[in-house]
Structure 1
């Protein structure tokens, strides 16, 4: 049994998630960490070990049943990451409960429904590119604010029938939930306001159903059972948040990677390497999610030579696993679209595999080439090392993405 070193305190500012991942991997496939609020946990960072955990029923998702410290009141509502525990959806449930919620929700993300979304995605891309085209020659534009974020956000909000005037409140809660520098008062207030925004939206759709996925979920049944109010709100939390933040990070990181690797971008422009290879390599080397809370051991588990006690919280280190040298070689941290093995776990694995993965890939496959076709001279407005990180250890994105669409006149 491996003697484990002192826990690594995760940096709440997320100033360099890859450097932190390197520190974690130095301890082996499993590292003990300290979360905000001085909560001890584990981060699984090795590719094979992450895959094992994602498909192991001994790592459960329901804190109300499997996290003794939370059940006993040792983890109270002032825990900064409490939102990840209190959500009521498929990511916080196990077994039959998870299967029921997933079956009901999966009906919204069949391959047929996803492909039917293509014209809508193409329209939104055109509208956003038209808006970007209003920038003056050489003007510095925040591509995240003007393109990478609104593209998936508009798509997911239209799919779920979120009216324009409600989108700010509905989406803001998910954004705050990923911040790891907020205090407990802010975390608790966010959970409450976020729930209220969701309940208001659900009530509106009950009274005025439409041809959208939320109206469908309200009516959806599985063996006679519908989603209750809490489950509907929790499912919206998941779908709206995961359907926007992760794709935003994928788009932003792909743009930075291409602009800082011109020799590889030339292969794409010349048609020698397809855009799907750009997308998959970005997902591998720049996983949109850095650390995903939470799983809880249902019994004492020995994992990669490390003994994890029963009931301990576990995070999945997606950003670290994508750069595992044991899987991808000594150059695992290098962006290389010609790499033959681009396998990654950025959309999860097993029963909790991301339902929205095909939609995210579609948005990137439409949005990235359209951006560079419209603005072939697009360039970073600052050196790559000055692009600021998102500011959280949970996600791997950028705070802003300053670019110039065209050279200065």
Structure 2
């Protein structure tokens, strides 16, 4: 991270995002930054971000951004802020778009999914057990990625005949394999998802696409065609990419802290504690755009002018010593204060949070129970980062599995 004209320039390819974030927090609670060519305020501390996520004078609606016409095209920020789903809706429109999805992530639906998640996890464990135990295996590619991808495909209702091509494209979005993410690839993905949704009109099932079509027909277009398509696309992509990062980051943290893993294997701590501490300590999301000042507003002594954007620094707030104490940068699954903002807060709190937590807990328990002697083939700090402003993880997670437990 460099600094020009009193403004920090965020580097998507940084080798140490947490060192960058420490500098941001030291500079203040609300810091001027440049992100992918966009000037913005960065909310760096827990209390400040909590205020930003709930402040009535800060909106996700793009029309409030005075600098939107100068937005560089094809960037991660461009993809997020121009999304037409509930992601960037407010008030009544946000409630109208979000309400139909609550059933998809209800406790009843999750209880129904648990056996299938466990089955998919067991299949992946069996596949890992077939690999040479003394050769490195990339757990991001072979485990952390395919599990949430398969789960969200079933939840949404992706037909089997389209899954190979869809997975080829989403490999790039999740940054696994050799295919690079790009605006052209995103266009291909968008067109394929549109084709799948169109084809599913005549083939109802027990899935989210069917639920949304029924609501669309029953309520006489309460969800427009564009809103329906945008919603499904958002859920498919957001519904698995961040969970990939969560599982990858948890594996790296636990294998880098042998004493922590020992408490899980002995039963001293539940796997849910490892999931929550990973979400705090190494948030799957690095920075997330944007909220815009509807009118001039003062935040922690800083005046944000009407139309100026504010960037959420999720990975920074998870290590804020003002919130978590002087050892905030230490991974500790026995920590009593694990409340975090990794899934956001307020009206835009992540709908898929319960599913991500469930997948993370099932995945980690199965993996470390099967391979209790697993160790990192390369220290996590030496692995290449994702090279994206949004995601916080590594491009791979090579491990030596060791023998499978009997």
Q: Structure 2-normalised TM-score?
A: 0.91
Note the 1:240-251 alignment, pairs <5 A.
Answer: 240-251=236-247
Distance 1:338 1:211 in 2: 39
3-state DSSP of counterpart to 2:27: coil
Distance 1:225 1:328 in 2: 47
Match of 1:257 in 2: 253
Per-residue deviation, 1:232: 2.2
- Contact persistence 2:265–2:368 (CA under 8 A): no
- Contact persistence 1:15–1:392 (CA under 8 A): no
Match of 1:50 in 2: 49
Say what the alpha-carbon RMSD is for the aligned residues.
2.2
3-state DSSP of counterpart to 1:295: strand
- Contact persistence 1:12–1:392 (CA under 8 A): yes
Task: Rate the CA distance shift 1:125–1:186 in 2: closer, same or farther, 3 A.
Answer: closer
Note the 1:124-143 alignment, pairs <5 A.
Answer: 124-143=120-139
Match of 1:199 in 2: 194
Q: Deviations over 1:233-268 (max 9, x none)?
A: 221232122221111111111111111111122122
Correspondence for 2:288 among 268, 285, 292: 292
Match of 1:343 in 2: 339
Match of 1:20 in 2: 20
Pair 1:75-2:96 in alignment: no
Correspondence for 1:386 among 378, 382, 388: 382
Distance 1:132 1:178 in 2: 20
- Contact persistence 2:265–2:369 (CA under 8 A): no
Task: Rate the CA distance shift 1:95–1:150 in 2: closer, same or farther, 3 A.
Answer: same
Task: Rate the CA distance shift 1:252–1:79 in 2: closer, same or farther, 3 A.
Answer: closer
Per-residue deviation, 1:178: 8.1
Note the 1:351-362 alignment, pairs <5 A.
Answer: 351-362=347-358
Correspondence for 2:143 among 144, 147, 150: 147
**320-329 or 157-166, which deviates more:** 157-166
Task: Rate the CA distance shift 1:313–1:169 in 2: closer, same or farther, 3 A.
Answer: farther
Distance 1:204 1:151 in 2: 25
Note the 1:183-194 alignment, pairs <5 A.
Answer: 186-187=182-183, 189-194=184-189
- Contact persistence 2:243–2:284 (CA under 8 A): yes
Distance 2:332 2:347 in 1: 30
The number of residues matched between the two structures is 395
- Contact persistence 1:175–1:241 (CA under 8 A): no
3-state DSSP of counterpart to 1:393: coil
Unaligned residue ranges in structure 2 (runs of 5+):
176-180
Q: Deviations over 1:146-186 (max 9, x none)?
A: 0001111110011111134434554666676688xxxxx94
- Contact persistence 1:218–1:226 (CA under 8 A): no
Distance 1:45 1:77 in 2: 26
Match of 1:88 in 2: 84
Task: Rate the CA distance shift 1:75–1:176 in 2: closer, same or farther, 3 A.
Answer: farther
Q: Deviations over 1:80-103 (max 9, x none)?
A: 632112211111111111000000
Task: Rate the CA distance shift 1:117–1:104 in 2: closer, same or farther, 3 A.
Answer: same
Task: Rate the CA distance shift 1:398–1:31 in 2: closer, same or farther, 3 A.
Answer: same
Match of 1:182 in 2: none
Task: Rate the CA distance shift 1:239–1:363 in 2: closer, same or farther, 3 A.
Answer: same
Task: Rate the CA distance shift 1:57–1:194 in 2: closer, same or farther, 3 A.
Answer: farther
Per-residue deviation, 1:69: 2.3
Match of 1:7 in 2: 7
3-state DSSP of counterpart to 1:120: helix
3-state DSSP of counterpart to 1:68: coil
Unaligned residue ranges in structure 1 (runs of 5+):
180-184
3-state DSSP of counterpart to 2:28: coil
